[in-house]
Structure 1
Amino acid sequence: MVLTAALIALTACSTTAEGAPQATNGSTAQSAVNESARNLLPEDIRNDGKLVFGSTANNAPFTMKTGDTMGGMLPELGTEVGAVLGVDVQFEAMAFPGLVPALTAKRIDGIWTLMQATEERETTLEMISYMKNSQSFMTLADAAPVENTEALCSLHLSTVRGGTSQRLLDSIAEDCEKAAHGRPEISLFDDPATAQTQLRSGRVDAFAGITVPVRYVADTVENGSVFTVAPIEYLGGAQAIALAKGDTDLAAALQAAFKVVIDSGRYKEILAKYGAENETFTAEQIVLNPATSGVLDDVVRTESK
């Protein structure tokens, strides 16, 4: 069976309630204020001295919330970006479906989570690429191995509601149906932790998510004895920070700050610390609206394989 969802075989390799802005993980910034980047900030943010991002919590290793502290890769990157811009970068925990409404209501300045830049999203949001994107499937370690996309057709699949993984599952389901293999059942959840709890309990057979956190969970839960990651990976796209449409001054400031952090080497250090060294961008690949600008077409547009 030939499925249209793009894939390649790998060659190597909790629910959190909305609340007040959360501190970063306490990591010490190694970056200094860059006045050129700081001057690009909107005046109200410069005067307020803080930049608040909405983000899903407990999506390790990107975000990991303990008490009132949000740690992980994104808060560490936020610490460096904030240091360059001379502001305090904070993260507010909320469910994925609530992120865009919170941005629209101006409760937050931006969204910094696992959100892939897409043409549809860029019609209503300004998006800034910050790392490469790929998606994988996680199953129970003692389940029958999933060695190709066709094997997914008979399974009960799950993912987070509203993300690009949901679109991937819809595409796979359509392909399975067209190939007369039956349409897989799909369940959607508000956050990865809930979906993974359902997987562990056996209520679903597989969870689709961004490769880096999926591998992190599989490797760390009970020393890697509970989950395994299928040896197929769906490639393409860029993870991006989302801002309100028209907020181009803040977008320019964030782009400039990211380039400083990348040039200093801190960006690669932080991503490597969390197992995402293969997902890094160069400074030139931190761009506005990567799905529609054409600048990253070789990265964000995936062909069937």
Structure 2
Amino acid sequence: MKKQTLIKSPRFAKALALTGVLALSLTACGSGTAAPEESSAPQGGAGASAPYYDQLPQEIKDAGKIRVGMSPTGTPFSMKPGEEFEGMLPELSDAAEKLLGVEMEIISTAFPAQIPSLQAGKIDMIWGASADSVEREKVLDFVSYLRSPMKPLMLKDTDLSISTEEDLCGVKVGAVQGGDIHRYLETVKTKCEESGTPMELNLYEASSAAMAQLQAGKVETMIGMGAIQDYIAATAEDGGLYRVESLEVLPTIYAMAFEKGDTELQTALRDALRELVNDGSYEEVLTKYHAASGALTADEILINGVGSGELK
């Protein structure tokens, strides 16, 4: 049975500032919960005989587990309908566990508390829909696991095609307020106005609000994270409600996040994930959650790959 323990998170100014640096461009992963909630993941791994056990830091070997900070980001990344996490990231975590030889213990951590918890040593890593960037690599180190652009979602029976940026002109567009997609759409809105065909931009505090307006016909398309859009289109009413248009903007690398300089742990996770790519487990999980279009090759599973210029 899973244990449920509350952990108090520090609220110092520096940590809150760094949280802003790592804020997601689309999804507001944080909830109103101020403190993370701990839960132990299923036991797995083969101990010291596991192929990547020797690469782990000694303190991780001694503890017998890696504490993974994760929030219920939403489908397909991670959900928590009950006591246990479900979704793409928990399944990848379970698969990595067998290669590392220690438990991947998922600690349910509200988004605003993740960086403070990492810095306070309450978790060893963060695994969510965190975007890697040159600026963010000044704060934390990242191990890439997915590429996903922003894409337009629309009702399936809508007589509208969006394949280029210009196709957004004259369209009622919905998006979540703040982040890269908001800034991008403001730029497009200005271009459309200059062309004489204004775009109506409607901004919402949460993706759920934007989706509700899309379904009600108040906006014609909602632009958001491609991995989420693809999952919604494939699963809502068995794929009969929405479709994703071909326009792709703001390609983004999503990654696990670690304390700067925690090289041994980063290398072990990178190599374990590369092994999952090579043995087909990674693609199997991504396909299950309709995210295979964002799969990386083994050579693209990198530490700080965006900052090095190897990933875009």
Tell me if 1:81 matches 2:85: no
**Contact 2:151 2:226 (8 Å CA) reproduced:** yes
Provide Cα deviations, 1:219-278, integer angstroms capped at 9, x if missing partner. Answer: 212223433322322263422111122222221121121122223221222222222333
Tell me if 1:187 matches 2:203: yes
**Contact 1:138 1:214 (8 Å CA) reproduced:** yes
Provide Cα deviations, 1:156-178, integer angstroms capped at 9, x if missing partner. Answer: 4213754x444543443454455
| Equivalent AA in structure 1 for residue 165 of structure 2 | T
The alignment's TM-score, normalised by the length of structure 1, stands at 0.76
d(CA) in 2 for partners of 1:20, 1:73: 20
Which is higher, the Rg of structure 1 or of structure 2? 2
Tell me if 1:20 matches 2:44: no
**2:86 is matched with which residue?**
71
**Contact 1:21 1:52 (8 Å CA) reproduced:** no
Q: 1:177 to 1:126 in 2, by over 3 A?
A: farther
Tell me if 1:90 matches 2:85: no
**Contact 2:153 2:221 (8 Å CA) reproduced:** yes
**2:243 is matched with which residue?**
228
Q: How does 1:135-154 map to 2 (within 5 A)?
A: 135-147=150-162, 148-153=164-169, 154=171
Task: Give the alignment partner of residue 61 of structure 1, picking from 72, 76, 83.
Answer: 76
The alignment's TM-score, normalised by the length of structure 2, stands at 0.74
Q: Secondary structure at the match of 1:81?
A: helix
Q: Which moved more, 1:179-188 or 1:36-45?
A: 179-188
The total of aligned residue pairs comes to 280
Task: Give the alignment partner of residue 267 of structure 2, picking from 225, 236, 252.
Answer: 252
Q: How does 1:209-224 map to 2 (within 5 A)?
A: 209-224=224-239
| Equivalent AA in structure 2 for residue 169 of structure 1 | L
Q: 1:248 to 1:185 in 2, by over 3 A?
A: same
**Contact 1:17 1:93 (8 Å CA) reproduced:** no
Task: Give the alignment partner of residue 148 of structure 2, picking from 133, 154, 174.
Answer: 133
Q: 1:15 to 1:67 in 2, by over 3 A?
A: farther
**1:4 is matched with which residue?**
none
**Contact 1:136 1:208 (8 Å CA) reproduced:** yes
d(CA) in 2 for partners of 1:136, 1:155: 15
| Equivalent AA in structure 2 for residue 172 of structure 1 | V
| Equivalent AA in structure 2 for residue 159 of structure 1 | V
Q: Secondary structure at the match of 2:85?
A: strand
Task: Give the alignment partner of residue 257 of structure 2, picking from 229, 242, 267.
Answer: 242
Provide Cα deviations, 1:62-101, integer angstroms capped at 9, x if missing partner. Answer: 2232211111111111011122112222334455555444
Q: Secondary structure at the match of 1:281?
A: coil
Q: 1:132 to 1:156 in 2, by over 3 A?
A: closer
Structure 1: 5+ residue runs without aligned partners?
Answer: 1-13, 301-305
**Contact 2:156 2:242 (8 Å CA) reproduced:** yes
Q: Which moved more, 1:258-267 or 1:99-108?
A: 99-108
Structure 2: 5+ residue runs without aligned partners?
Answer: 1-28
Q: 1:201 to 1:51 in 2, by over 3 A?
A: farther
Q: 1:30 to 1:47 in 2, by over 3 A?
A: closer
Q: Secondary structure at the match of 1:65?
A: coil
Q: Tell me: higher relative CO, structure 1 or 2? Use CA pairs within 8 A at least 6 residues apart.
A: 1
d(CA) in 2 for partners of 1:52, 1:295: 28
d(CA) in 2 for partners of 1:108, 1:236: 29
Offset of residue 56 of structure 1:
3.9
Q: Which moved more, 1:53-62 or 1:130-139?
A: 53-62
Offset of residue 206 of structure 1:
3.3
